[in-house]
Chains A and B, each alone.
Chain A
């Protein structure tokens, strides 16, 4: 089996996939009578040429890092966790109950407890499908999808009937107390009269996401548990032979995965909206799958893939602000990126592998 050098695998394949996606997107934009170069300009200007734009990109990226890591951890154990949406929403519920009902003296303390609450709630939501998979062989793909819908219904019930302040129309909880407001990038990085990241939603949770990347790298590649995880993912029978308990490793992988997805809510619920709203996960649970695919289940890859998707979302928003390109087309562009980087990966990889093999043969 011919192999490419690692740099080609990690950099060349995604870059070529991206260029292909961009090319097809340009054709679509041309077809509806708009200028693709101008469109790209709007996206770059709105997302990358101002600190406020970066503040938005990093906010979305934080979500995608958490959900991407969640998908990656599960898939190292060859489990496909599609339940990130539900787990993230449950994480939000945990945070909301904590922040609304326990008076904290300072945000740092609240943040620490919120990490635990979000992780616990997310993990608990992943626990049931995990047990069903481990003990009853119910397929995790089906059960985690179903649990998304149960989570939607549960959140709806909680927000309409329990957490909603009386008389309020919107199915949302009351506002969290002011004193546990998480520092935003604007508050952290503005100095003197220079205001950076103006009113951007990026907040301190971004750093937690970076720490989570490092933590997951250590866990998967530098610990005994991570080794068991990967061994189980590579070959269940070999893992069994080596004395690894499949039920145990399935459940542990899903608990970690669920906890990571749940922690996404720190960014959206505690960091940004500062109250629990319906659908706070905003589809990040699903985008996490694409992020993990594109990032090759490696924390570094996931970090950059998350940035890319953050850029696409923020750039897409800018695009629909200032051009008449309909919102639906932005979804099309994102879908093309997912298609090329995720699903059609081999289409780019195979010719490249051959090309590199050819290069070697010549020498």
Chain B
């Protein structure tokens, strides 16, 4: 009797949870994990904001291998989650295989690109990282006293070169004679989470004269910011607002509003409009962070120069070269 009761109870709970899951959104993080203080964590922040502001709920999953990408997508789609949001640029080809099998499910790829003509149920959200990097490059070159600024990338991939190239262009726009040093942390995914190496690179770049370091390197960047503060030079954070990590030493942060992208997608629910969404300066998808922590480091003149360039980029009068458009950078060699 009691056993049967338990069984019924379990079945009822199962039915309930299944019902609740029906229209819930799901979020799948890329390799690197949920709490990377950077890209994936920004997505997590957006999802948590969705919960606190709308009272909704969501399910999330951290993949640990390539083979889990397709598995996770299918598992969530079959369980009725909608929309399913993924972070990272490695999902495009997986979507091409999975999306046609679940025409009623909306998929969102942040940083990936899927052809909307072939896959009408996928929304590709892309960011103009080169534009945001351009602005922080301008700020770095203005703040530099030595005339040398530098860049620490995570893993050496086109996306990170896109950051570096935008940064170098911005720096050169302010001071054509500026020297830009660029180093990548490594060639394996471990490069996203190697703060010790980030610290070493920062010291090496300081030895070469750099006094502003821009880190676009995930968890590695934490070591860069820390060392810059220890060595008394300036740093620039990435993705999330990292100004608070080392107050008074982080000049600014290049914002990439992954959180907004996740929040908007989850809030739209199953009515999400699919297609391609490019988030640049004009859409406030990228930008630079100003708050109390860096107010003393940035003068009004610096902001005025940057805002002028920002207005020009938005108006289309100034175009920043995108490394990924032709795999070359006019001002920086890799």
* Distance between Cα atoms of A321 and B92 in the complex (Å): 22
B172 within 8 A of A: no
CB distance from B202 to the nearest CB of A (A): 22
Q: Which residues of A261-298 have CB atoms within 8 Å of chain B's CB atoms?
A: 268, 272-273, 275, 277-280, 282-283
Q: Which residues of B87-133 have CB atoms within 8 Å of chain A's CB atoms?
A: 89-90, 92-93, 101, 111-113
Q: Which of A101-109, A168-176, A347-355 interfaces with chain B?
A: A168-176
Chain B interface residue count, CB cutoff 8 Å, equals: 32
* Distance between Cα atoms of A175 and B67 in the complex (Å): 16
* Distance between Cα atoms of A272 and B71 in the complex (Å): 12
CB distance from B87 to the nearest CB of A (A): 13
* Distance between Cα atoms of A170 and B158 in the complex (Å): 8
CB closest chain-A residue, reference B98: A199
Indicate if the CB atoms of A279 and B189 lie closer than 8 Å: yes
A201 within 8 A of B: yes
CB closest chain-A residue, reference B62: A327
* Distance between Cα atoms of A59 and B68 in the complex (Å): 12
Interface size class on chain A is 35 or more
Indicate if the CB atoms of A199 and B74 lie closer than 8 Å: yes
Q: Which of B67, B71, B155, B327 contacts A268 (CB 8 A)?
A: B67
CB distance from B42 to the nearest CB of A (A): 18
Chain B residues lying within 8 Å of A166, measured Cβ to Cβ, are: 327
Indicate if the CB atoms of A169 and B158 lie closer than 8 Å: yes
Indicate if the CB atoms of B157 and A160 lie closer than 8 Å: yes
Indicate if the CB atoms of B62 and A282 lie closer than 8 Å: no
Q: Which of A26-34, A121-129, A151-159 interfaces with chain B?
A: A151-159
Indicate if the CB atoms of B156 and A167 lie closer than 8 Å: no
B319 within 8 A of A: no
* Distance between Cα atoms of A275 and B93 in the complex (Å): 10
CB closest chain-B residue, reference A273: B66
Indicate if the CB atoms of A160 and B156 lie closer than 8 Å: yes
Query: Are A157 and B187 also in contact (CB < 8 A) when A170-B89, A170-B92, A317-B71 are?
Result: yes
A sample of 27 cross-chain residue pairs with beta-carbon separation below 8 angstroms, ordered by A number, consists of A59-B67, A149-B188, A152-B187, A152-B188, A153-B187, A156-B188, A157-B187, A160-B156, A160-B157, A169-B92, A169-B157, A169-B158, A169-B324, A170-B89, A171-B157, A171-B158, A172-B93, A199-B74, A199-B101, A268-B67, A273-B66, A279-B189, A282-B67, A283-B65, A321-B61, A321-B72, A327-B64
The 4 closest A-B pairs by CB, nearest first: A156-B187, A169-B89, A282-B65, A152-B188
6 A-B pairs besides A201-B67, A201-B70 with CB distance below 8 A are A156-B187, A168-B158, A169-B157, A170-B90, A199-B70, A330-B64
